[in-house]
Amino acid sequence: MIDETSSAPADTPSATTEPAPPAADTARRWFEIAFDSGYLVTIWTLVIAMTRGRGRVRESDRRTAGLLRRAFLMLAIGDTAHVGFRVLALTRGDDKATVTWLGKRTSLLGIGEMMSSITMTFFYVLTLDAWRARFGKAWTRFTKLLLGAGAVRVVALAAPQNEWDQPTPPQKWSVYRNVPLLVLGLGQAFLIKRDARRTGDRTLARVGDAMLASFTFYTPVVLFARRVPAIGALMIPKTIAYVAMAIQVYRGFYRPAPADHDKQHRD
Instruction: Give the model's confidence band at 256: pLDDT under 50 very low, under 70 low, under 90 confident, else very high.
Output: low
For the stretch 44-83, what's the b/e string if a residue is b when 16 or more beta carbons lie within 10 angstroms of its beta carbon?
bebbeebeebeeebeeebeebbbbbbbbbbbbbbbbbbbb
8 domain residue, yes or no: no
Number of domains making up the chain: 1
Q: Rounded to whole angstroms, what are the CA distances from 69 to 108, 115, 151, 262?
A: 27, 19, 22, 21
Is residue 13 a part of any domain in this protein?
no
Share of the chain above pLDDT 70, in %: 83
Q: The domain spanning residue 208 has which CATH number?
A: 1.20.1070
Please give the average per-residue pLDDT across 237-244, as a whole number.
Answer: 96
- Is 93's pLDDT higher than 70? no
The answer to whether residue 6 scores a pLDDT higher than 80 is no
Q: Number of H helices and number of E strands within the chain?
A: 9, 2
For residue 255, pLDDT beyond 90:
no
Predicted confidence at residue 2, as pLDDT, reads: 36
Predicted confidence band of residue 57 (pLDDT cuts 50, 70, 90): very high
The single-letter code of the amino acid at 177 is: R
Give the pLDDT band of residue 267 (cuts 50, 70, 90): very low
The residue-averaged pLDDT of 246-255 equals 94
In whole angstroms, give the CA distance from residue 86 to residue 93.
Answer: 10
Q: Is residue 3 part of a domain?
A: no
CB 214 within 8 A of CB 238: yes
Q: Is residue 88 a part of any domain in this protein? A: yes
pLDDT at site 178? 94
Calpha distance 250→183 (Å, rounded):
26
Q: Is residue 231 one of the residues assigned to a domain? A: yes
Dist. CA 211–CA 243, nearest whole Å: 10
Top-confidence residue, 146 or 6: 146
pLDDT at 13: 38
Residue 179 structural domain: 24-264
Q: How far apart (Å, rounded) are the C-alpha atoms in residues 150 and 177?
A: 10
Summary mean pLDDT of the chain: 85
pTM of the model: 0.83
Q: Say if 2 falls within a structural domain.
A: no
Is the pLDDT assigned to residue 8 strictly greater than 50?
A: no
Rounded to whole angstroms, the Cα distance separating 203 from 195 reads: 12
Any domain includes 163: yes
Coil, strand, or helix at residue 101? strand
> Does 166 reside within a domain?
yes
